[in-house]
Amino acid sequence: MPVGRFLLCLHSHMPYVLSHGVSPHGTDWINESAAECYLPLLHALDRLHHEGIRPRWTINMTPILAEQLEDPSFKTGFEEYCQQKIDIALSDAKRFEREGPLWMQGLAGFWQRFYTKALVQFKHQWGRSIIEGFRFFQDQGCIEVITSGATHGYQPLLGTDESCRAQVRLGVQTYEKHFGRKPRGIWLPECAYRPRYAWKSPVEPNAVAWERMGTDEILEQEGLEYFFVDSHMIRGGQPLGTYAANFPQLAEMFARSSRYFSPPEEFRSEYEHYLLPTGTTAFARDPQTTVKVWSGEAGYPGDEYYLEFHKQLYPGRLRYWRISQEKSDLGKKQPYDPYNAFERIQDHAADLVNVLKGTLAHYKGLADRTGTLVAMYDTELFGHWWWEGPEFLYELTKRLHADGEIEMVSGGDMMDTEPAKHLINLPEGSWGEGGYHYIWINEENSWTWAKLYPIERKMRQMARDYADGPAKEVVTQAAREMLLAESSDWQFLISTFAAKDYAEIRFQDHIDRFDRLAEIADRVHTGAVMTEEETAFLLECQQKDAPFAELDLSLWLPDAAKLNAQ
């Protein structure tokens, strides 16, 4: 009998970066992730599949990422990106042959082979469809793919129930389009959950509290069986940190939600999964293994022999150095040696297998039952931030399979074989800093919510009044602009200063486009004909922001109104 179960969940997401005319650098993000993360993961799965190993990873592909990966402009752009990297590597190699050092010439050849392999895999193995690759491995029983909010909207802070529901409902619809089946699980954006309670806008001084649906109620309506949260939410503990002092509006929100939640008297563990009153199941992240795999300081990715992320050779931006012992001094970085790096992978995979076994055995001794360890990570950790990460996952899976003491499971596997045995309520929170909403609403980014809430209410009105009239096409594009504005990435990038200017420009651009489209829709609905300039503006928006081609405006109808309309 196994000592326990291991559920690896990878969260794959990218905000919409195919928009034209705002900032071109965003497309590098998706090209880098495709080359460094998604294709190497498919390669790892391909090898495991041929070796008869089913890792049963749970992989989330957010709908907005899937839409981009299937967009013809991405496919063409990615092929050009790979060829550009090949050309850069060839140019670097010639330069190093002339000028030295010769070790860099060898690494230039390494990069040339890497991007050539990526290009061949993309074009010939997967037929220019990364999504088709993940669909294949799901159909083969190797993995389970789950969905997410359509554009990664932060559920607890969206301004209307209709917006919350539309994010989830469109997420389900988009998943069905790309994967040919209904999803069983969902990755809640930022693992953010809100129970039902009398919610009040935190940025509108005259707002009145009103009864909001709980996140799990929305999931149950859409037929979703399970989701993931951070461990402090399962345990019922209060969020950490000083969010109240930094942004007092959050203190009021937390106090309001806390009236509807009492900390549990019974012991709860992140190695169990729990049933909510709506019938959905919550899994919680294991804190013990997170640091080992995630941390660049205390974890595996910080090993001195792994590839250094931050030091690049300009202008081509290929990387030739390892992390080295002097981690903070880029001038003291040593040459990267792929062979030494991949030897370290063996040691780290073996170490994590022992950690998993020890953690699960300890829980089995305490609880007298078999537990499930849930490891949750951003997919982009593996390959982009930690170059050797995909190979680490491959080696880890092989060792778990050979060891036999830990059962590898997906979320759906648990629904089928180990349904939750305990009923609980969850508090409000996320997996962000402090466990609450501070990263997504604070002094730096609260203005985004003040602009977003009015357009969400306007969208609800237009979906009800304009959906079947002459303004339908205009309103549909306005809905796309609002969905893109709802992405939690903009608040995150503003809050962390990672790409603050870019995020502010992108967010404001979608708001401005929505406002103008709404003005046009108001006029057209009353019988006016669009001017030539307005028609050109609509076409530009449709070409620039083009995900969700089959977008249905009934997504934003209240349920009762939707039933009456059918």
Annotated binding site for substrate: 285, 302, 431, 489
190 is catalytic: yes
465 is catalytic: no
Rounded to whole angstroms, how far apart are CA atoms 379 and 377? 6
**Judging by beta carbons within 10 Å of its beta carbon (0-12, 13-18, 19+), is residue 454 exposed, middle or buried?**
middle
Of residues 28, 22, 101, the one with CA closest to residue 317: 28
Rounded to whole angstroms, how far apart are CA atoms 276 and 229? 13
3-state helix, strand, coil in the chain (%, to 5): 55, 10, 35
Of residues 143, 395, 193, 365, the one with CA closest to residue 293: 395
Whether residue 263 has a cis bond before it, omega within 30° of 0: no
- Write out the two tokens for 314: 């300009």
Which residues have a Cβ under 8 Å from the Cβ of 248 and sit 6 or more positions away? none
Q: What are phi and psi of 160, to 5 degrees?
A: -135, 155
**Residues forming the annotated binding site?**
285, 302, 431, 489
- Write out the two tokens for 494: 């503003």
The active-site residue out of 46, 92, 161, 190 is 190
DSSP state of 554: G
3-state class (DSSP) for residue 455: helix
- Write out the two tokens for 116: 């050539």
The active-site residue out of 32, 132, 378, 418 is 378
Task: Return the sign of the alpha-carbon dihedral for residues 217, 229, 26, 495.
Answer: positive
Give the catalytic positions in this structure.
190, 378
